[in-house]
Amino acid sequence: MDRHPRTETRGGDAAAGSGIDAPGTASTAEHVVETMTMAAALNRALADALAEDERVLVFGEDVGALGGVFRITDGLTARFGERRCFDTPLAESGIVGTAVGMAMNGLIPVVEMQFDAFALPAFEQVVSHVAKLGNRTRGDVRMPMVIRIPFGGGIGGVEHHCDSSEAYYAHTPGLTVVSPSNPQDAYSLLRAAIASPDPVIFMEPKKLYWSKGVVDTSITADLRRASVVREGSDVTLISYGPSVAVALEAAEALAAEGRSAQVVDVRTLTPFDDETVSNAVRGTGRAVVIAEAPGFASVASEIQARVFEQCFEVLEAPVRRVTGFDTPFASPKFEHWYLPDVDRVLDAVDSLHWEG
């Protein structure tokens, strides 16, 4: 028997006056197609989930009246009440531990870690309990929860505020790890994460919060699938989250040089979509992996290894990586040197044995 039956619902409106019912009631929100920021898309996804399932709760540091430091939860407490969206003490381990208890008792907690490195005090809860309870109980106790983590650089922040911690979670069996790169995926992937019966680590690229795009709230997402976001025939650029924009910009620059670059957005780091990535690389024979995190023992390293293993016979050149450096995150004045940029991607592409 499913301990956490779900109603498959999609679509909605997070804006004021959208028709969302009063707290404690469930409804099907309005389907809309609008241009909005990634921040607004995340806010809408949370509002729609709260409106459609009264078991969904949102909590974390300053997410209530303030609406979160990035305003992702703006207006949710006013709309749904302090029982559905509320502030917590500055105690990340306690936040996740509380979410574990809620999930074990049939609720669907969505928690916000204020910044990437702020989530590390909760790491023991995540690794020892969130990721393992399903396996520990042979599936009798599921963990339907989402841990939202703003991550990555590009905002002029410092260490603890701009780290890329995705490899820690991707290395932990039992967790689904997701990172959107555009407003549509932010909406659709967050709705899919909240609907999942198992725990999802939702890594949100801070520097893309104010990027804009069209969002259709009827579009659903599969947490197991990558996406080819630009077709090309000469080289495949593989990335996720904040670095997809760099890959797309590099593809434009390569087109001006007469090279056709394909771009794959991994979207879900684990489970990893080998099929889409391998098929893409098999079509071009060359690949570059782009990610902000330090390169050593990273998600980028894992992608590079999997492409080598599965596409070796068709590769025209070694798979390259363009990553952050193996150092603590740079100070604001130097982060533009730390983060992967178009020039570093073009240099990597140039090294892919084009002669002959």
Q: pLDDT tens across 317-355, in order?
A: 999 999 999 999 988 889 999 999 999 999 999 999 888
pLDDT score at 12: 34
pLDDT score at 179: 98
Q: What is the pTM of this model?
A: 0.90
CA 310, CA 135: separation in Å to the nearest integer?
29
CA 45, CA 39: separation in Å to the nearest integer?
10
Judge whether 4 counts as a catalytic residue.
no
pLDDT score at 356: 66
Q: Each residue of 7-51: pLDDT tens digit?
A: 333 333 333 333 333 334 456 678 999 999 999 999 999 999 999
Grade residue 157 by pLDDT with cuts at 50, 70 and 90.
confident
> Taking 60 as the threshold, does the pLDDT of residue 139 lie above it?
yes
* C-alpha closest to that of 136 among 111, 100, 95, 112: 100
pLDDT score at 96: 97
Averaged confidence pLDDT in the chain: 91
Query: How would you label 83-115 residue by residue, b for 16+ Cβ within 10 Å and e otherwise?
Result: ebbbbbeeebeebbbbbbebbbeebbbbbbbbb
Q: What is the mean pLDDT of residues 224-232?
A: 97
Residue tagged active-site, from 129, 160, 161, 171: 161
